[in-house]
């Protein structure tokens, strides 16, 4: 029996997102015979117990999953052999900083399904960030401006803006 694993995001210390939510994992279990795992994470928005109730076993590391779901790039030293990885790899445009990760996936005998390349018949992306991603980016720009101007001794209302993750 094949297995899927929802990995613990580790690119950013503030990352709380999950590729699947417990209710969707439960739907998968109701439709497909598959074993599922949830990699332990202290910061994921949804609690481990919620995934356990949806049918996932808790684990440390990505070894139990044949198919590994993530949000952001996986550090190349964590890429295991002969897996199927799904995540935003940020390699499709030849982003230099991720080419060694892509090489590691190829050398490992694994497959990468980049969310950016999941498209419909017209070539439109089917997996993408919703409208809140742009809002979060704008908030972070305002926060950064407030930080910069405050360090320069310039008082502005932007000094009261927090990073988006705090809202």
- Per residue in 86-139, pLDDT (tens digit) is 999 888 888 898 899 999 999 999 999 999 888 899 988 888 777 777 888 899
Domains, the chain: 3-117 (3.40.50.720), 131-166 (no CATH)
- 3-class SS string, 4-64: EEECCCCCCCCCCCCCCCHHHHHHHHHHCCCEEEEECCCCCCCCHHHHHHCCEEEECCCCC
CB 15 within 8 Å of CB 43: yes
pLDDT computed for residue 127 by the predictor: 82
Question: Which of 7-16, 29-38, 69-78 shows the lowest mean pLDDT across its residues?
Answer: 7-16
pLDDT above 90 for 29: yes
**Band of pLDDT at residue 149, cut at 50, 70 and 90:** very high
pLDDT computed for residue 129 by the predictor: 73
Average pLDDT over residues 21-47: 95
pLDDT computed for residue 135 by the predictor: 86
pLDDT digits (tens, 9 = 90+) for 51-92: 999 999 999 999 999 999 999 999 999 999 999 999 998 888
pTM (2 d.p.): 0.81
pLDDT above 90 for 1: no
């Amino acid at each position: 029996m094949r297995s899927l694993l929802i990995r613990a995001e580790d690119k950013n210390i503030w990352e709380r997102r999950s590729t699947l939510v417990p209710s969707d994992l439960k739907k998968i279990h109701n439709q497909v015979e598959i074993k599922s795992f949830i990699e332990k994470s202290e910061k994921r928005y949804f609690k481990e117990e919620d995934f356990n109730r949806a049918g996932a076993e808790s684990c440390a590391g990505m070894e139990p999953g044949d198919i590994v779901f993530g949000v952001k790039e996986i550090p190349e030293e964590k890429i295991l052999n002969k897996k199927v990885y799904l995540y935003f790899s940020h390699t499709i445009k030849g982003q230099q900083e991720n080419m060694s990760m892509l090489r590691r996936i190829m050398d490992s005998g694994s497959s990468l399904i980049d969310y950016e390349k999941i498209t419909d018949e017209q070539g439109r992306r089917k997996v993408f960030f919703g409208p809140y991603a742009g809002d979060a980016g704008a908030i972070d720009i305002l926060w950064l401006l407030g930080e910069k101007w405050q360090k320069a001794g310039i008082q502005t209302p932007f000094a009261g803006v927090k990073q988006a993750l705090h809202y």
